[in-house]
A and B are shown apart, each in its own frame.
Chain A
Amino acid sequence: MTRAGKLCLALLLTISGTTGCWNLKEPDQLAFVLGTGLDLTKDGQLQISLQVAIPSGAGGGQESGGGTKKQSFLVLSTTGKNVYDAFPKLQAQLSRNMFFGHRRIILIGQRLAEHGIDNQLDVFLRHPQAELRSKLYIVKNGQAKDILSAESIFEPFSATELFHEQATLGLKSNYIWNILSDALCPGLQPMLPAVELTDPNQIVYMGSALFNKQEGLKLSGFLDAKESFYANWITGKITDYTLTYFVKQGNGTVSLKLHSLGRRIRVKRMDKQRIKIDVLLSGAGDIAENNTNLDPTKRQDFQIIQDELRDSTRKSVQQLIEKVQKQCKTDIFGFGESVHQQYPSMWKTLGHDWNDTFPKLDVSVRDDLRFKHSGETNSSVKSML
């Protein structure tokens, strides 16, 4: 009996040696995909583009020796019936196996976004080796492929730059799973960051793209960078921002570095069917520039600047909410979700035609912005001249 046991142990050891090696792939056998781009071509076909790293071109340090600089990445693209259908065709152009574990971004071109992206999202979650930590962007006025091919500044790849850009902008992460979670939430419409390729081939963050999921996740409009800031503030997706506004009494502009932004959405029940939304925005900021005649170190002037700030912010936020209600008609602020959370019984009736209710909603905005630090100077330099 012990002999049989020993024999089994020996057999086991041999088997254990064989399990792992089947998947052996050295890094030099892999083509690292850093970005995926989805577009709709002019004749209505789905076009998939990949940004693939070329390690020998991306290697830092050695280039200083001069000579021709090798391209650090390659952009492949082809059309397919769906996203995965394109992969064999793309693989055919490469001698190394495509590897998606390090994909940083997913880009969606404007034409495809207008057509609706609900059919394109499944693969990013279903595939067992899917990379969930990719971030998503919409490409305004252009194709995802162009962004992937664009020259980058600091890093060898535009994909990595775009990945880090969101944090630089103070945005909370927009990973693919965050977006899917938003898209599946009944009282909320997804809002995705958008980029644009400007004239001298430069990638610029331009704001947000709004979607309407009732129509198959179709693009319903764009917000510019400032509007996006307010929208992200209301949804709690941004941590800091720089705001500049005009102070009438001081006849000049003040710039403010805002941080620790917060928000609270309260639903007030007016009667059986009517509700009112109350948005309270909070945050603190430091004065970074002051071109007014006022001196923020003085109590009175400080109050004027702060009041003006609160006033102008409230107006801007109100304008934005009205614009979204009237023009886009999609509840990107998640007011519906707030109703759902605070008055679940009302949501059962209101939820059915929330898209019709949202444009008519009565929304009031309050803000509670505070100055923490007024900077290193007292009154503006200009007032001493």
Chain B
Amino acid sequence: MMKLSGSQLVWIIVTEVVAIIWINITPAVLISKQDSWISILVAGCIGAALTFLVVHLSMLHPHQTLAQFSRALLGKWLGRLIVLPYLFAWYTLSAYLLRGFPDFLKPILIDRTPLWIIMLLLLGLMVYLPYSTGITGIGRFCEIVGPIMVFVLVISFIINAGNANWHHLLPVYADTGWENIVKVSIRPAYWFAGPFTLLVIVAFMKNPRKALQKSMIGIGITVVMAVTATLMVLMIFGPNLAAKIRFSYFIYVRTIDILDFVQNLDIFVIFIWVFGVTAQLSLYLFVATYETAQLFQVKNWRKIIWFSIPGIFIMAILIPDETIIAAYDKLWVSVIFPVCGIGIPLLLWLVTVIKRKLAY
């Protein structure tokens, strides 16, 4: 049986979210400008609330994953039906990430390497972890990678502090107003809450009662990192330039120049980031295949990996251009997340509570 410790849960959450910091800063800066750090902070609070809902739901059904307890709650058919949107979300998200990261990597680092080779390599890594050890291996991997990523972030903040100009953060609040600040925070709030993998992985915890505490610590670390990253990006570029740069945290790292000697740290950051993306991909693949196996009541979930991998790869290859990625992003924020992250968990929670009341 696969087991997950408390600190592993913390670092899974951190790795999962910190790895996508750089794509989440610019959309916020575009609208809430110098106040986007407040937006990210608000997003962190909303994200923590959403995480609370999901973890709380999982804790009501200890040692059961989403597919197991939804079937127990809603019956054979409805219980299965409800898992389908999640499977769609996880499989497409894997494909999106499998394509998105190489797409980002290729022009800046290895522009002559064919895209599919980078993707194949990532695919191999992403299969290896869940196939060999399942969630335990992913947890152990995150326990190493998470602290390294946080360390790299902190270092990148410290060594660029000399270039930072806090005047860029002024005026606070007056230009934006609460309405914009909150509006902008919705999208990052969903990413903070993560793609509902907690519905599955909490079931593997050795001590499920600690799940809530540990996941809040994880979210806390992530929010602090994301807010600081946003603050630094704003203080370096100013809100107007930061809004123009698509991957602002990454370009931020490129501006680091200490004594005309410590430069080009972006390569180092990417090197660390690949770990994070691998961890993310492995986690999504594990969650997706495990739940597929539960859905079809297949005993050996590892077999599902061999069926899902070609599907994910083909989906990723078929993405024609970046505009589709933007559209997919929109789909997440407007449909997938509200349904899978709020709607269904809330429904399942209600059913659980009512059923237990009736049982007494």
Give A contacts to B, CB under 8 Å.
1, 5, 8-9, 11-12, 15-16, 18-20, 22-23, 101, 125, 128-129, 132-133, 175, 177, 180-181, 184-186, 337, 340-342, 344-345
Contacts and interface: CB of A to CB of B under 8 A. Distances in A.
B257 A22 contact: no
B117 A19 contact: yes
Nearest to A20: B110
Given A5-B132, A19-B118, A341-B171, A185 B240 contact: yes
Contacts of A181: 237-238, 240-241
Contacts of A15: 117, 120-121, 124
Contacts of B124: 8, 11-12, 15
Contacts of B328: none
B131 A23 contact: no
Contact of B263 (A11, A128, A133, A184): A133
B229 interface: no
B144 to A, nearest CB: 20
B118 A22 contact: no
A342 B175 CA distance: 11
A345 B174 contact: yes
Contacts of B118: 19
Contacts, number: 80
13 contacts: A8-B127, A15-B117, A18-B113, A20-B113, A23-B109, A101-B264, A133-B263, A175-B257, A181-B238, A186-B240, A342-B170, A344-B174, A345-B174
Contact of A19 (B113, B131, B170, B241): B113
Interface of B: 107-114, 117-118, 120-121, 124-125, 127-128, 131-132, 167, 170-171, 174-175, 237-238, 240-241, 244-245, 251, 254-255, 257, 263-264, 302
B263 A23 contact: no
Nearest to A129: B108
Nearest to B238: A181
A337 B168 CA distance: 10
A132 B251 contact: yes
Contacts of B113: 18-20, 22-23
Contact of B112 (A16, A22, A128): A22
B241 A18 contact: no
Contacts of A132: 251, 254-255
Given A11-B124, A15-B124, A340-B171, A177 B255 contact: yes
A136 to B, nearest CB: 14
B122 to A, nearest CB: 10
B175 A185 contact: no
A185 B168 CA distance: 10
Given A18-B117, A132-B251, A133-B263, A23 B110 contact: yes
Contacts of A180: 241
Contacts of B125: 12
Contacts of A177: 237, 241, 251, 255
Contacts of A22: 110, 112-114
A371 to B, nearest CB: 28
B306 to A, nearest CB: 8
A129 B110 CA distance: 10
Contacts of B132: 5
B245 to A, nearest CB: 7
Given A128-B107, A128-B108, A344-B175, 19 more contacts: A1-B302, A5-B131, A8-B124, A8-B127, A8-B128, A12-B121, A15-B117, A15-B124, A23-B109, A23-B110, A125-B244, A133-B257, A175-B257, A180-B241, A184-B241, A185-B240, A337-B167, A342-B170, A344-B171
B121 A16 contact: yes
B235 to A, nearest CB: 11
Contacts of B121: 12, 15-16, 19
Contacts of A101: 264
Q: Which of B108, B111, B241, B251 has the most CB of A within 10 A?
A: B241
Contacts of B117: 15, 18-19
A125 B246 CA distance: 11
B240 A9 contact: no
Nearest to A348: B175
A9 B127 CA distance: 10
Contact of A23 (B111, B245, B302): B111
A15 B128 CA distance: 15
A4 to B, nearest CB: 8
Q: Which of A101, A185, A341 has the most CB of B within 10 A?
A: A341
B175 to A, nearest CB: 6
Nearest to A127: B107
Nearest to A340: B171
B108 A184 contact: no
Given A22-B110, A341-B170, A133 B128 contact: no
A184 B240 contact: yes
A187 to B, nearest CB: 11
